[in-house]
Structure 1
Amino acid sequence: MTTPTHDTPPPPHRVEPLGEIDLAVEGMTCASCVARVERKLSRLPGVTAEVNLALEQAHVVLTEPASDDELLAAVASAGYTARVIGREVPTAEHDSHDGHHGHHHANDYSADAADHDASDLSAPVADRGTVLRRRLVVASILTLPVLVLSMVPPLQFAGWQWVVAALTLPVVTWAAWPFHVAAARAGRHGSSTMDTLVSLGVIAASLWSLWALVLGGAGMIGMRMEPTLVPRLGGAGEHGGMPELYFEVAAVVVTFLLAGRYAEHRARRSSGDALRSLLELGAKEAVLVETAADGTRTERSVPIGDLAVGDLFAVRPGGAIATDGEVVEGRSAVDTSLLTGEPVPVDVGPGDTVTGATVNTSGALLVRATRIGSDTALAQISRLVSRAQTGKAPVQRLADRISAVFVPIVVLLALATLGVWLTIGALGGTSGQSGQGLSTGEVQVAFTAAVAVLIIACPCALGLATPTALLVGTGRGARLGILIKGPEILEATRRVDVAVLDKTGTITAGRMAVTEVAAARGDDDAARAEVLALAGALERSSEHPIARAVVAAAETAGGAAPEVTDFDSAAGFGVSGRLTDGARVAVGRPGWIAEQGEVPAVVGDAVARLEATGATTVVLARGDAGGALTAIGVIALADEIKETSREAVAELVALGIEPVLLTGDQEAAARTVADAVGIERVVAGVLPEGKVAEVERLQAAGRVVAMVGDGVNDAAALAQADLGLAMGTGTDVAIEASDLTLVRGDLRSAPRAIALSRRTLRVIKQNLFWAFAYNVAAIPLAALALLNPMIAGAAMAASSVIVVTNSLRLRSA
C-alpha cells in the first residue's frame, strides 16, 4: 500500500487575472512594430499583451503585480512611447450576478473617466493628422515644379538645377522626417520595414544629387540633363559627361507615400468613433426625485454623473432612461432596440428592470437606480466593442511582408555592386591600366551602379499598389452604396466562409407592419376591413409603435374611419374609447382583452396561429354601452422582410458563404424570417454578449466570419468578426465598429461588397507584382552598370503607370 506524499502535484487551476490595463502606444507603423511591443511587454512576469495597430493601443492582462512604470519602460525599450488610458480591477463580485461580471474601476477607468477618456483610445496623439497633412501639402507644392523641371528639358532654364535642389531639400528632410525616424527605430532593433527602403532610397538619391551638383560638375550654369540608356563607363573626366541628378525621384517618393500615410491615419482615427458614439447615446441629465420627511416629492434636473445607486428618477414619455434601474411606479412600453435590435417595445411595470439609454415610449415611470456609470449595460457594451477591437489581430500589410525580405536584399546588392565596381576599377577593369589606383570616373561608375540599384528598387509603385487600388475600389463601391474603410479589411473578404446576419434592420425593414387581419365572422373581406378601420380609428390617439403601424395600415386600406371619443390608454396593455352610438371599443394585448370580456374560440385560435409564426397580435373588442366586451378580430404585426433579402442570401451562397441568422428575437419569429429568405441555420434569443460569443464560437471552429448588422446591439459582434458589414440605415455605433458600410441598407450590398473587396485585393496583389517586376528585372542591369539611374527612375515611373492603369479597371467592376 502506498501512502500519498506531499510531493503529489496539486490539481491544475486557472490563474485569475489581477487586473487589466490599456495603454496608448505612439509611433507604431507596421506589423513588426506590433510584434516588438508585444514581445517586450510579454517578457514581464505575469503579463500577457495584445497590441492593436489600428487603434494604436495595447491591452495588458496581469496575473502578477506589475507597476505602470514597468509597463511603460517595456514599451520604451521597444522604441515607442506609451501612457496608461484605462485600468480594470476585478472585485469579489467577479463571478456573481448570474454570470455578469462586476468590476471596480480605478484611475482612468473610474466611472467618470471611463465615460470620457476611453472614448478617445484611437488617438494617442491628437494632432498627428494635422502634422501629416501639413507635411503632405508642403511636399506636394514643392514637388510639382521639381518634377516638371527635371523631366521636361525645354523648360530647364539657366541655373534650374539649383532651384530644383532648393525645392527638394525641405521635402527630403522635413517632409520625409517620419520615414527617416521610423527607419532609424527599426534599424536600432535589427529589422527593416517599408520605411527603411523609403528612407534609404530618398537619402541615396538626395546625397548623390547633392554630390553631383556641388562637386560633380552638374551645377554648372546652363547644364541640361540629357538621359542616356547606358552610363558612360569612363566617367565624367574622360568623356565629358556629367553625373545625373535624381532630386525628382526623391521628392515624388516622399509625396506619394505621405499621401498614403495620411489616409491611413484618418482610417485609424475613425476606429475610436464607435466608442464615442456609444457613450453619447446615454442620457446627459436625469430628473432626480427627492422625498421630504412629510412625504412630498420634489423634482430637479441633475447631471447624470450625480446619480447614485438607490436614487429615484422620473422618466417622461419619449425620454431616454437615465441609467439602469427598477421601475417603482408607472407602466409603459420601453423601446429596447438598443439592446435587442427588435422593434417591438417591452411593456414594463413596478418591479421590472429597465436599461439606461433605452427609450420610454408612452407612460410616465418612476425608477430606482440600480447601476450607474461604468457598471451599466451601455458601458458594458462599450467595453465589449473596445475589447473586441483591441483583440482583433491586425492584418499585416502585404508590402511590409515583402519589404521585410526585399529591403535587406536590395541594400546588400547595392553595397555589393559598389564594392565590385570599386574593385574592378582598382584592378584597371574600366581604364585598362592596372595598378594606377581609382580615377574619379571609376568611382563614379561604382556609385552610379550602386545608386541605380537603390533607385530601381525604390518603392514608388510599391507605395501606390495598395492606395491606388483602394482609391478606385472605394470609388466604385461608393457608387454601389458600399464604403470600404481601409486596405487591412480586404484580406478577410478572401477567406470569409460564413456570414452571420442580424434580422431586424438587416434582413427586415426594422419597423412593424400589419401582416394579417382576422375577423370573428370568418373569411369575409368586409369584416376584416371593418376590424382594421375600427382599430385604426381607436389607435390614432396613441403614440405606441404598434398603434402607429395599425393606423398606417388602416390609412393605406382606405375607407371611412369611425369617430372615437372618451379615449383612454392603459399603458402597456391597450387603449379603449366609445363610438358615436355609445358602443365601447378596445384594442390591446390578448390577455388584457380577455380580462375585459369574452374572447370567442375563433379569435383565440387565430391568436395562437398567428403568434406561432412569431407575429405580435392585438385583439379588437366591441360591446354595448353597458355590456361586456366581445373580441371581434385579431390584427397580426411583424417586422416586414425587405424585398431584396432573399436575392441577397442567394448571392452569398453563390460566393461560397454560409448564411446564419443571429437575432435577439424569439425562435418562432426568427425561423419564419429565415424560411422566407432561404436561411437554414438560426440562432435566436441572444443579447449583445451572446452575439459576440456566437461569432467567437465560429472563429474557434476555424470559420472566417463576416457579420452584417445595423444596431448598437450588433456593434461588439461587428468588431469581433473577421469582417464587419454595417447597414448604412442603422446606428452610427454599428457603422463605425464595422469594416464595410452598406449605405443603402440593401442586404444585396453585402455579397456585392465582399465580391468588390475580393476583386480589389486581387488587383492589389497584381499591383504588387508589377511594382516589383520592372524593378527586380532591372536590378541585374543596374548592378552591371548597364542602366543609367535616370533610366532606372523612368522604369520606376513606368511601373507606377502600370499600377495605376491596372487599378482603374476596378471602375467597371
Structure 2
Amino acid sequence: MAETPAAANVSDSADRISHATYTSVSSAISRAKQAAADVGINTNDLHTHEFSEEYFQGRTSFAFELTGLDSATSIGEIEEALEQLNGVKARIVYTSNMAWISANRGVDISALVGIFKHYGIEANLTDSSLRRRMAWSDVEEGRYRRSRRQHRRKHLAQQHFLHKQALEEEKQLEYLRKSGFLDGAEQRFVHKEPTDVLFTARNLITRWRLFASAFLTIPVIVICYMPSLQFNYWQWFVALLSFPVVTYGAYPFHRSFIGGLRRGMSALDGASSVAITLAYLWSLALIIFTDVGKISYRSDSELFAIKLAAFENGALFFDVACVMTFFLLAGRIFVRKSRASLPVELSQYKPVPNSTVIVVKKLRNNGKSIEQEVPIQKLNVGDDIIVPAGAIIPVDGVVIGGSAIIDACVLGLGKIATKVNGKVYAGCVNGEKALKIRVVATGHRTWLAAVYRWVAISSINQDHSDALATKTASFLVPTAIAIAFTDFSLWALATNNVNQAFATALAVLGCVAPVALAVSASVAMRQGIENAARKGVLIRDAQTVRRLDQVDTIIFNRVGALSEGEMTVETVTAGRGENPDLVLRVAGVLTLESDHPVSRALVRAARELRDSSSNSSIPGWIEVSQIEVDELGNFTGLIELPVKDSEGHVENRSVEAKLWRPRNLSDLQGRLAAAAVSDGTPIVVRWKGKDRGVITLHDEAKPDATSSVDALEAMGIETMMLSRDTYPVARRYGDSVGVSHVLAGIQPGQKEQTVRSVHNHGAAVAMVGDDSVDGCFRVASVGVMVGAMTSLPNPSHLEDTAADVVLLDGKTSPIPWLFSGARRMNRLIQSNFLFAWLYNGIAIAAACLGLLHPMLATVLMLASSLLIEFRSTLSRTF
C-alpha cells in the first residue's frame, strides 16, 4: 500500500529528529574526549587490551648526592633537562647539594647520571636509595605482576558494564522516541518550586491555572449579577463555564483536602475546598431537580448582602464557587511572590560549579608568571587568582595586588574598602578595579557557605515551629465544618427554607481563615530572622527571638565585646633593684605561644625592646620550657636568666617564672600595688618566688560601645561588665563606656559560675562576648557572639558555637537594634494572633446570624489573610 503524504511527513520528521539527536550525542562525546585529552587521559587506550609496560611498572624515587654544584643559576636548566626524560620529575636543592627525582620504575639510572655529568656534576645515589631499591626489588616485581592481573580483570568488568549501560541507554532512548518525548521543540528542564506541607502544594498553583479560572469566572459573574444579560437556559451555560473552574482551577485545594483526610489531618484549605464543591453541587442540583432549571428562570443576585426573598424559590452559587477559587489562587500566588527567601538569595552569590577563574602561577625554571584558566573546583589554598572588576569573588582570601571597594552585602557587611593584606570573602562583588587574591578557603570552608548552612538550619528549626502552629490552626477546619452543619440544620428547622440555610452555612465555610491563623507567627518570624541575617546578625531560631524579648540584663565581656581587642603596653613598673627591661622580656617569653590580645601585646613590646636595646646584661634570646596555663589564666614556665653566684660570677640558670593578674588590692603591696590600680590592665611578673614588676596594658573601647550601652540602658535593660581586672581598674573602664555594674576580678574559669549566679538571682541574662566566653553562652538565657569573622579560627566553627545570636562584624551597634527588633517582632506576632482569632470568631458569628453573604465571606477571608501577610512583612525592618 502506498505511503500517505502525512505518514511520509511523520517519517521524514522522525528521521530528522533521529539525525539531530545522533549529531548532538556525537558532538558531546567528542567534547568529552577532548576534555579528557586535555588532562592527560588517552581515551583510545581505554578500549585496548594491551598497555605499555610503563603503565604497570609504577613509580619510584631516587636521592642523589651531588658533587661540583657550584652555582644555583644552572639548577633550572638541569631540572628541565632531566624532566625531558619520560615520566621524570626532578627537584634540586642547592643548599644541601641533593637532587630528588621521581620517575618510572624502569628508568635508566645511567641516563640520569649522564645528564648530571654533562653539566660537570658528579651524581651518586644515596645509601638509603640503594638499600631501598635492593630490599624492594622482589616486592616491586610481585606488585608489577599483580598490577597486570588486576588491570586485566578491571578491564573485562568495565567492558561488560559499558556494554550493559549502552543497552539500557538504547532502550531508554527508544522508549522516549516512541512516547513522543523527542518530538517537537528542544528539551527543556523546568525548575519546580518546592512543595510546602503547611499549605496547598505550591507547584500546583500556577499562573496558567489562575488565568484560566479568571477567563471563565468573569462571564459567570457578569451573567449572574446582570439580569439583562440572562438568556434562555443561561443557568446551564453558567454551570458549564463553572465546571472547569471548580475542577481544574480548584484542583490544588481539593487535592490537599483529600490528602489530609487520607492522613487523618485537616488541610488548611479544606474548608474552602468543601465550600467550592458544595456551592457547585448544590447549584447543579437546583437546576436539575427544581424550577431553577426552567427556561424562564431569571436571577437577581446580591453581591454582599443576603436577600431573603431570593432564597425562597432557590438561589445559584456558581458565582461563589468561581470567585472563591479565583481569590484563593490569586492570594496564594501573590503571597508566594511577596515572601523573600534568603537561601535563594545566598545561592545566587555562590560560585557556579563549572565556572573558571584566572590563576597566576610562577614557573620554577625561569621565575616568570603565567596566567591559566582553571575551574573553581581545582583551586587550592595558596593559589593566586585574579578577580576582574564587577565579578563575584569565589573564595575567601587576602588581597596581594590592587585595591577596590567590594560589596559585601551578602554577608551583611556593606561596602568594604580593601587593599593589599586586606581580607575578602566569597560572594562579595568586586568594585571597579581588578584584584589579585591569594586563596585562603574555598567551597564549603568559606564564610558564605557557613552562613548558608546556618540559615538552612535556622529554616529547618523554623519549619518545626511552623508545623506546630499549622497543626493548631488546622483544628479550625473541622470546627468550621461542624459549625456550618449545625447552622444549616438550625436555619432549616427555624425558617423551613433550605436555600437560605445553605447560604448561611456556605458563608461560614467561606469566611473561616485558618491560613491567617497559621501564618500569624511563622511568616513574621521567618521574615525577621532572614532580614537580620541580611544585616550580618544570625539568629538561631524563633525561640531565641522570644527569649531576647524577655532579657532584662546584659553582661558584656570586656575583651571582645567592648574593647577593640588590640592592646598596647603602657607602663612597666619594676620592683626595687629590678630591671624593667628584663621584666618585659620575661613576660614576652612566657606568652609567646598564646593568641590572647594581652599575650600579643606583651610579645610585640618585648620584641621591639630586644631590637632597640643596647643592654648587654640581658641575653638576646631567653630560653623557656615547660610552659603551662592554669584555670585562672596564669602562665608558668622555666626560663634561663643570668644569675650571680656567691662569688659574683654571672651564669645562666633555670628558674621558675610566673605571669599572673591580681584579683584585688590585697594581692600586691607597695609601689607594685600602686601601679596595679593606677591605670590600664595590670600584669604581674614573678620569678624565684618574688614579684619583680607590674606591666599595665591599655586597650581602646570600641567607637560605638558608649552609644550602644546608652541605648540599652534607655530600653530599661540593666548592663554589666565582666573583667579580670581589679575593681578600681574595671570600674574606671566601665565608667568610660557607661556600664552600670562591674563584675571585677573574675578569672576565666569562674566566668560561667558568675553568669549563672546572676541568672539564679532572677535575671534573664544575655551574655555578650567573643568566642572566648563560649561556655558562658550555655548558662545564659541568650548568648550573643560579637565579631565571629575575627574571633573564630575558621568558618566551620560557626556551627559548633553555643551562641544563640552571632554578629559577623565586631561592632556593638547592632546589639540595641537586635533587642528592640525582637521586642517589636514579638508585639507584631501577638497582635497578629489577636487579630486572627477575633476575625474568625466575629466572621463565623456574623455568618451564623445570616449577616454575611457567601460572596462577602470569601472576600473577607482573603482580605484577612493578606492583611496578616502585609503586617508580617513589617518584620523586615527587624
In which range does the TM-score fall when normalised by the shorter chain? 0.3 to 0.5
The TM-score with structure 2 as length reference comes to 0.44
Higher RCO by CA contacts (8 Å cutoff, separation 6 or greater): 1
The TM-score with structure 1 as length reference comes to 0.47
